[in-house]
């Protein structure tokens, strides 16, 4: 009996020792798990904090962009003024982002009507900033200084950008492509059209025939040379004629295989739509663009302005 009791006690002791070892190991595992849980909780807290900070930063950025949008819209000309100054008009204005590097501009002063479409360096906020610079300078040059010669206006605009952005002293090369027209009524049926441009063409109808004028192959702003000469082109236009000004975002729109819509396609569209009412003309342009673009991403701002004499 004593030996049996001894054996039982020895086995019981070994079982207890193993159990204690197992409990100790389990205790260590629980501590490790708790430590990892605490680390995960700390990381989650940090992640939540960073997410909230990022959301707040994005909110401030979006608020700033929306504010920039409000300012840009306020600086663009009233469409009502354009509507009352011409027989008809249509506008297709499609920023790539909330704000645009394209702008359109209009002024009627003394006997002249000035119309501008411009494509500034970049898009989004940087492009929008340049558009506001361009609008401010045009207001100063034409409405305040009363410089009415289109080529001279572009020369002054070029100087204003270089001086305003201190491009002679820095690496800043921001500038713009721009088309500018001046219309002066000669009589009830006839007007004088003067065109000057940097890197941009215009199309117009002349008694039903489509004409094209091509601007100078040079930019406004963007280089250190402060003086730059532009040329004027003159034509007669008649009551009922259309004039089309546009940024390169329209013809440069790619399709899914990266083929641009192109100038030839635009000329086909103008030939097709020139006798249509304004709303249908706009629809023709938009539908052709969207059909060409399909699933491709837009890469630039788009502005297309048509006015009828």
pLDDT per residue rounded down to tens, the chain (309 residues): 666 666 666 677 777 778 778 888 888 888 888 888 888 888 888 888 888 888 888 888 888 888 889 999 999 999 999 999 999 999 999 999 999 999 999 999 999 999 999 999 877 888 999 999 999 999 999 999 999 999 999 999 999 999 999 888 888 889 999 999 999 999 999 999 999 999 999 999 999 999 999 999 999 998 766 677 999 999 999 999 999 999 999 999 999 999 999 999 999 999 999 999 999 999 999 999 999 999 999 999 999 999 999
Angle between helices 124-138 and 2-75 (to 10 degrees): 20
Q: How many CB atoms lie within 10 A of CB 26?
A: 10
The Cα–Cα gap between 85 and 47 comes to 58
Helices (H), the chain: 2-75, 79-85, 124-138, 150-164, 248-251, 263-273, 278-293
Q: How far apart are CA 127 and CA 135, in angstroms?
A: 12
> Among residues 285, 98, 308, which one has the least CA distance to residue 191?
308
Identify the three-state secondary structure at position 296: coil
Structure tokens at 229: 């000469």
For the chain, give the number of residues: 309
Q: Torsions phi, psi of 281, nearest 5? A: -60, -50
Which residues are registered as beta bridge partners of 184? 112, 192
pLDDT of residue 294: 97
Q: How far apart are CA 248 and CA 271, in angstroms?
A: 19
Q: Position of tokens 């340049």?
A: 130
Distance of CA 205 to the CA centre of its chain: 29
Contacts of 262 (CB under 8 A, 6+ apart): 251
């Amino acid at each position: 009996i004593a030996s049996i009791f001894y054996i039982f006690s020895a086995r019981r002791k070994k079982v207890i020792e193993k159990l204690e070892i197992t409990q100790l190991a389990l205790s260590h595992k629980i501590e490790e798990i708790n430590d990892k849980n605490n680390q995960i909780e700390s990381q989650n807290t940090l992640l939540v904090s960073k997410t909230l900070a990022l959301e707040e930063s994005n909110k401030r950025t979006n608020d700033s962009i929306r504010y920039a949008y409000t300012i840009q819209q306020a600086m663009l000309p009233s469409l009502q003024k354009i509507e009352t100054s011409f027989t008809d008009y249509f506008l297709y204005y499609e920023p790539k982002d909330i704000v645009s590097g394209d702008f359109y501009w209009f002024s009627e002063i003394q006997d002249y009507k000035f119309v501008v479409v411009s494509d500034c360096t970049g898009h989004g906020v940087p492009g929008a900033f340049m558009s506001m610079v361009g609008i401010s300078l045009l207001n100063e040059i034409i409405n305040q200084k009363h410089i009415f010669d289109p080529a001279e206006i572009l020369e002054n605009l070029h100087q204003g950008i270089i001086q305003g952005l201190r491009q002679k002293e820095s690496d800043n090369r921001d500038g713009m492509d721009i088309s500018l027209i001046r219309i002066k009524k000669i009589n009830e049926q006839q007007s004088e059209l003067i065109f000057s441009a940097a890197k941009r063409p215009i199309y117009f109808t002349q008694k039903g025939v489509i004409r094209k004028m091509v601007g100078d192959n040079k930019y406004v702003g963007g280089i250190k040379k402060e003086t730059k000469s532009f040329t004027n082109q003159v034509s007669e236009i008649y009551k009922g004629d259309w004039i089309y000004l546009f940024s390169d975002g329209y013809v440069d729109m790619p399709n899914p295989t990266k083929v641009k819509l192109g100038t030839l396609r635009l000329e086909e569209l103008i030939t097709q739509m020139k006798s249509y009412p304004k709303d249908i003309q706009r629809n023709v342009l938009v539908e052709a663009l969207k059909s060409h673009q399909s699933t491709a991403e837009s890469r630039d701002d788009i502005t297309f302005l048509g006015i009828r004499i």
